[in-house]
Amino acid sequence: MSDDETTVDRPVALISGGSRGIGRAVALRLAEDGHDISFCYRGDEQAAAELEKELAGLGARCLAERVDVSDAAAVKAWVDRTEQTFGPVAVAVTSAGITRDGPMLLMSDDDWHDVVDVNLSGVRHVCKAVVFPMMKRRAGSIVTLSSVSGRHGNAGQTNYAAAKAGIIALTRSLAKEVGRRGIRVNAVAPGLIDTDMSAALDERVRDQVAARAALGRTGLAGEVADAVAYLASPRASYVTGAVLPVDGGL
């Protein structure tokens, strides 16, 4: 970037779980839309470094930090550093998530709590950290990532489905709490998307899910990112408390 370009104010987008999969696609899409990007990741430093390079190539300033989103203090510190480095967070996207699948009767307490702590409490931690500054500015957009599992349930995913359903309830409730302060809160609920997480599924299961979709295929991370970018943008200025399925018509 030239010196002149670096002086242009760019809105700041904060993305949890940004180094891979849907979070990575969202980071790239929002950078293309003119945002500077702050993202956190759980452990894949190589993927984070590669994304930083791609974002720089799109003209975006970038802050990448290793953060456990189940740790409220760590999330708050990350958000504070983001605003100190780049300025106010205009858009927050909660994409961090893990799976620990198995029948409920055989599921360990650790597998239950790990998924709920990351997938649901992690969303709460990000939202709580960004929403107060947004309220003071009377502006902001939050987009959470739920799942088709949170809307319809899924055998072998009681922990994941419960967390993703909780995200929908959190999103709709928070939207009602902060709407009059100029903040919009929406959710995207993807179906089966081609990511590292879904690649771990048995091929027969993937084929069965794809066959159930009206479009007859799995989705792409970029297709989810486009939906997130819409909800994050002024184009969705009268949309809040919504849950947008991106599932091919399951």
* Active site residues per annotation: 160
CB atoms within 10 A of CB 249: 10
Written as one letter, the residue type at 181 is: R
Give the end-to-end CA distance of the chain in Å, rounded to a whole number.
43
Neighbours of 216 (CB within 10 A): 10
Q: Where are the alpha helices (DSSP H) in the chain?
A: 3-6, 21-32, 45-57, 72-86, 109-116, 122-137, 148-152, 158-178, 196-199, 203-212, 221-232
Residues whose CB is less than 8 angstroms from the CB of residue 207 and which lie 6 or more positions away in sequence, other chains included = none
Q: Crossing angle for the helix pair 21-32 and 221-232, nearest 10 degrees?
A: 50
Cα(98)–Cα(228) distance, integer angstroms = 19
- Both tokens of 241, joined, read 């408390």
Token duo for residue 67: 């953060």
